[in-house]
């Protein structure tokens, strides 16, 4: 048995068993990501779809995903590869791509505007070892490493990874403990601590999916954006006001089909609220 240190759960994992994420396992007393290099999704996407609006605008990035997640969002857009019953089927279909092979694929797409690799679709940090191994090869070829994450990770565990990442889009899914703990089965403080550390190392943009009657009050979005505005860089200089925030429209999905899609005017209204604290606020899915 060994303890996993990726997120707040600190799963004690027995030999051959898995942690909450369904990916991290124990082999001979060592925690290892079972999905290392096992790819379920691969596409060349515009960077704005990550979304990253202020990181190499107009460029493309090779986007890859595996399977597994350490949250349980009932509205998950990629539930087939994240935490639904279908994940076991996806595991069998995943194909192994080594870090060096993935770097070669990224390099082959430079002529199509590619700037690197984005680890996305499922939760990539539950297999941070694969990201790290790939990132070291990518930087040798002047290619960028991007991570799209829920931020549910211990920043101290990611210290080495932070040195090799160029940008992240991090979900700040809401701004109440109730929302994180009761709806998502997560921990808001861990995400906030992760964001605080990430902004000291590389370009960060944040995303909040606006769900009717869950995280869509003026007060919550004001408080969320105010907190972002107070973030500081490694020198203690306040940089939060210039950190981009993406407010995205919710559509009924997975286990949350009983709700209507977010009213478009509501999203635009919340953009105005957030803009009282932040310079760059973008709307998505509208």
Sequential pLDDT tens for the chain (286 residues): 999 999 999 999 999 999 999 999 999 999 999 999 999 999 999 999 999 999 999 999 999 999 999 999 999 999 999 887 777 777 878 999 999 999 999 999 999 999 999 999 999 999 999 999 999 999 999 999 999 999 999 999 999 999 999 999 999 999 999 999 999 999 999 999 999 999 999 999 999 999 999 999 999 999 999 999 999 999 999 999 999 999 999 999 999 999 999 999 999 999 999 999 999 999 999 9
With CA atoms as reference, report the closest residue to 221 among 271, 171, 186: 271
CATH number at 279 reads 3.20.20.70
| Residue 12 lies inside a defined structural domain of this protein | no
d(CA 278, CA 158): 27
| Residue 185 lies inside a defined structural domain of this protein | yes
Q: Which domain holds residue 58?
A: 36-284
| Residue 15 lies inside a defined structural domain of this protein | no
| pTM across the whole model | 0.97
| Residue 48 lies inside a defined structural domain of this protein | yes
| Residue 13 lies inside a defined structural domain of this protein | no
| Residue 222 lies inside a defined structural domain of this protein | yes
Beta-carbon contacts of 246 under 8 Å, excluding residues fewer than 6 positions away, are 51, 53, 169, 205, 206, 207, 208, 281, 282, 283, 284
| Residue 9 lies inside a defined structural domain of this protein | no
| Residue 27 lies inside a defined structural domain of this protein | no
Percent helix, strand and coil across the chain, each to the nearest 5: 30, 25, 45
Number of domains in the chain: 1
């Amino acid at each position: 048995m060994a303890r996993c240190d990726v997120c707040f759960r600190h799963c004690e994992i027995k030999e051959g068993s898995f942690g909450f994420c369904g990916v991290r396992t124990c082999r001979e007393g060592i925690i290892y990501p079972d999905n290392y290099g096992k790819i379920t999704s691969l596409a060349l996407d515009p960077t704005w779809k990550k979304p990253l609006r202020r990181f190499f605008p107009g460029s493309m990035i090779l986007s890859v995903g595996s399977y597994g997640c350490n949250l349980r969002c009932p509205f998950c857009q990629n539930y087939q590869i994240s935490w639904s019953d279908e994940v076991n089927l996806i595991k069998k279909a995943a194909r192994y791509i080594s870090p060096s092979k993935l770097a070669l694929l990224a390099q082959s797409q430079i002529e199509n505007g590619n700037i690197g690799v984005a680890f996305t679709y499922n939760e990539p940090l539950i297999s941070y070892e694969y990201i790290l191994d790939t990132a070291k090869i990518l930087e040798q070829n002047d290619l960028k490493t991007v991570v799209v994450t829920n931020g549910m990770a211990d920043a101290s565990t990611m210290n080495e990874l932070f040195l090799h990442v160029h940008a992240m889009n991090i979900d700040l899914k809401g701004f109440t403990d109730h929302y994180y703990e009761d709806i998502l089965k997560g921990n808001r403080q861990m995400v906030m601590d992760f964001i605080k550390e990430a902004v000291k190392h590389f370009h960060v943009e944040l995303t909040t999916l606006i769900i009717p009657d869950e995280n869509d009050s003026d007060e919550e979005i004001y408080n969320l954006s105010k907190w972002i505005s107070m973030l500081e860089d490694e020198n203690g200089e306040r940089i939060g006001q210039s950190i981009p925030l993406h407010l995205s429209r919710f559509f009924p999905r997975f286990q949350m089909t009983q709700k209507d899609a977010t009213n478009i005017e509501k999203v635009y209204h919340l953009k105005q609220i957030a803009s009282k604290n932040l310079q760059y606020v973008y709307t998505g899915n509208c």
